[in-house]
């Protein structure tokens, strides 16, 4: 499966970053087996996104006749190989420690794992998007779409998930580790599961097992290969100074950036430079800035972006709108 983009889905910005420079974490990617093997776990520090490969888990009762059978009860959105795949929507070969390292590398500080169902999850919020191909069509959805509450069969709302980092523990020989390495729990659905790397902050998550089930109307067929993108949700102010290289002048790049910034309600400016590059300063909520950077990395249809240099600066709040400046 190749990377692809969908401008019609909110997840588009998550996937657009993959066209640019992406870093494969040491020990997480295979050195053989083609592009698919090498794409197992990747990070993009510009958009603060982690992407991994996974497959839809097999649920035999539901797969035989999804309409006639009761949807399978789920306890996890995502587990590592060796975890409770029969209770998960998705399964990946990525190890919990490697995913944790990747999330930390994009600026996510692990929160605190809960020790009881009545406690609130603590940690930075993340959004999870799943992309795949079905019947020759490219699909991209918030991961919540694939999970439903058993009480009414309705899919979950798109409330962000919480990166707790899993509870720390020690091995039999005294080495430090995390509980997720033993359980394989990557994204758990029940708040009391302290072993999960990422937890579910929805109110019903504190209820007993049996609260959630697969949304069989939306979940792809068992074995379908998917890409799972985990992106931090951050509304704190962010300001970036951007230099774009490649075929970026005379192709409507400034208009493209201006329209995108205005739609995202960002402030700043963009201009052409005499050396053929495009320069921009962008300020606004961090998540929206990350989305615009993803759009800039792709560029308009006629553009060919070869490099996107991003420098973070201290937000000043000096701009009132996003404008085009004279060439410099």
> Could you tell me the residue ranges of all domains in the chain?
12-232, 237-324
Cβ burial, residue 86 (10 Å; 0-12/13-18/19+): middle
324 is catalytic: no
What distance lies between CA 87 and its chain's CA centroid?
Answer: 22
Q: What is the pLDDT of residue 9?
A: 36
**So what's the pLDDT on residue 11?**
40
Of the residues 95, 227, 238, 254, only one is catalytic, namely 254
Sorted by sequence, the CB contacts under 8 Å of residue 208 that are 6+ apart come out as none
pLDDT at residue 61 in the model: 54
Percent of residues, the chain, with pLDDT higher than 70: 83
pLDDT 10s digits, 271-296: 999 999 999 999 998 878 988 998 99
Structure confidence at residue 318 (pLDDT): 95
pTM exceeding the 0.95 threshold for the entire prediction: no
Ranges under pLDDT 70 in the chain: 1-39, 60-69, 115-119, 209
Catalytic, 272? Answer yes
**From the candidates 272, 274, 277, 301, which is the catalytic residue?**
272
In CATH, what is the architecture of 237-324? Answer: 2-Layer Sandwich (3.30)
């Amino acid at each position: 499966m190749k990377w692809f983009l969908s401008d019609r889905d909110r997840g588009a910005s998550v996937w657009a970053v993959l066209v640019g420079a992406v870093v494969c974490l040491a020990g997480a990617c295979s050195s053989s087996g083609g592009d698919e093997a090498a794409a197992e776990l990747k990070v993009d520090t510009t958009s603060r996104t982690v992407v991994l490969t996974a497959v839809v888990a097999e649920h035999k009762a539901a797969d035989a006749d999804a309409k006639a059978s009761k949807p399978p009860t789920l306890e996890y959105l995502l587990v590592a190989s060796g975890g409770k795949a029969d209770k998960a929507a998705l399964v990946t070969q990525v190890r919990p420690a490697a995913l944790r390292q990747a999330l930390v590398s994009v600026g996510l500080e692990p929160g605190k794992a809960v020790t009881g169902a009545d406690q609130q999850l603590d940690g930075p919020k993340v959004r999870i998007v799943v992309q795949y191909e079905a019947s020759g069509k490219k699909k991209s959805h918030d991961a919540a779409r694939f999970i439903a509450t058993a009480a009414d069969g309705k899919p979950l709302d798109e409330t962000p998930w919480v990166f707790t980092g899993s509870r720390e523990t020690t091995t039999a020989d005294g080495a430090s580790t995390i509980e997720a390495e033993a359980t394989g729990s990557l994204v758990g659905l029940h708040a009391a599961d302290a072993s999960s790397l990422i937890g579910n902050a929805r109110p019903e998550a504190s209820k007993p097992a049996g609260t959630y089930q697969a949304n069989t109307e939306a979940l792809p067929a068992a074995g379908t290969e998917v890409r799972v993108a985990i992106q931090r949700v951050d509304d704190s102010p962010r300001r970036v100074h951007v230099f774009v290289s490649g075929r970026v002048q005379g192709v409507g790049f400034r208009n493209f950036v201006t329209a995108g910034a205005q739609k995202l309600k960002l402030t700043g400016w963009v201009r052409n430079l005499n050396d053929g590059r495009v320069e921009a300063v962008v300020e606004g909520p961090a998540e929206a800035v990350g989305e615009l950077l993803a759009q800039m990395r792709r560029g308009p249809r006629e553009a060919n972006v070869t490099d996107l240099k991003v420098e973070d600066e201290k937000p000043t709040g000096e701009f009132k709108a996003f404008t085009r400046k004279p060439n410099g």
